[in-house]
Amino acid sequence: REVNRVQRTLVEAWGLIRETFVDPTFNHQDWDMRLQQTMVEMFPLKSEDAAYGKISGMLSTLGDPFTKIISPKEYQSFRIGSDGSVQGVGVFINKEPSSGRLLVMDCIEGGPADRAGLHGGDELVEIDGKSVSGLDGEAAAQRLRGRVGTTVKVKVLDGTENERNGRIRQKEVQLSREVINLSPLSTAIISHRSDDGRECKTGYVRLAAFSQTAAAEMESAIKKMEDEGVQSYILDLRNNPGGLVKAGLDVAQMWLDGNETLVNTVDREGNVLPINMARGHSLTHDPLVVLVNEGSASASEILAGALHDNGRAILVGHRTFGKGKIQSVTELDDGSALFITVAKYLSPALHEIDQVGIQPDIQCTPEMLSLPRAPSLKEDDKATNLEMDSCIMVAEQALEIEKSKGSAS
């Protein structure tokens, strides 16, 4: 009975792919024949898990890692995360592109991982005794999430020890799972004196993910900083892996006026369709720098491209990840979910992003970190880390130049 149920899911997934997948050649294969082959392979199976494996195998032949199926349980976890809260241990994880290592980017202040002493720069090597080799950040995060009250054991390599003296210390901790309320936004005001003695204020806004609450929190933060006399802004998208594309477009409209193109999409027929400003009046016209790096992906690249190509922001940092594909998410009859790449996107100036990334105007790599990461979410550490971050220093210099141009004109 379980296998028969998954066979129905197979047909449902196959049909959605046929109608919407971005590549109408299905990676140069006979998609009808692929369904028949997979169905035949599924007949002798005895378990639901094995049957789901056959669907995943069929999807893998499309040659697109972002087109995938996830179980009902995983889908519930995904939905919770997009809503701005999650049941887990309060840690952000990302895969270092150059080495494939899974690194802790940050810990939610007061959360289980923070209380256990994990911190940014630690390398995750095991979850519940199983190696994380070959997993991406999302797959590792799925293993860490779970029902409130349960525990998970993690093994990490201490990144701080490695930075200080070149030695690597291994530690193993048991973490309890809790409801984690995720605010994707962290802010600060950086004050300094100009050459003529005036106090200058720069608003620093770090956006860690594009959840459903991201745009509303961004709007509130900008308005508050405007009231406090901020004269320029740094928007930090480093290590922001993306999230909801609509949230990225909503944030872009807060910094732009008029009817600018935010992003261009390319459908399966090759048609280029611009997405223009639907509404919006810029909340501020103050100079803006956007920080990006190898961990800035998907919706982060849409936002960075929109602000850069429309002449609104200077980009500082490192070339972005290069994920220029747009997924639809469909809940199937059995509660599982199918992610399908339905289009790819180009920047407003029609620059390719997928597998290319966005090149910043000014290169900047903090010398003390192998992978640039955004400052800590913790209030006590924030001011210190901002002062130590060489990319923020470069951003401030770029803002001073922009402000002097404005004064001259």
Catalytic residue among 77, 211, 298, 336: 298
Lookup result for tokens 């901790």: 173
Determine the Cα–Cα distance for residues 184 and 217; give it in Å rounded to an integer: 8
Q: Are 268 and 255 in contact (CB under 8 A)?
A: no
Catalytic residue among 54, 155, 323, 344: 323
Lookup result for tokens 């029609």: 350
Active site residue 323: yes
Token code pair at residue 149: 């009250």
Active site residue 68: no
Burial (CB < 10 A; 0-12, 13-18, 19+), residue 378, is: middle
Lookup result for tokens 């971005």: 22
10 Å Cβ neighbour count for 16?
Answer: 16
**What residues are labeled active site?**
298, 323
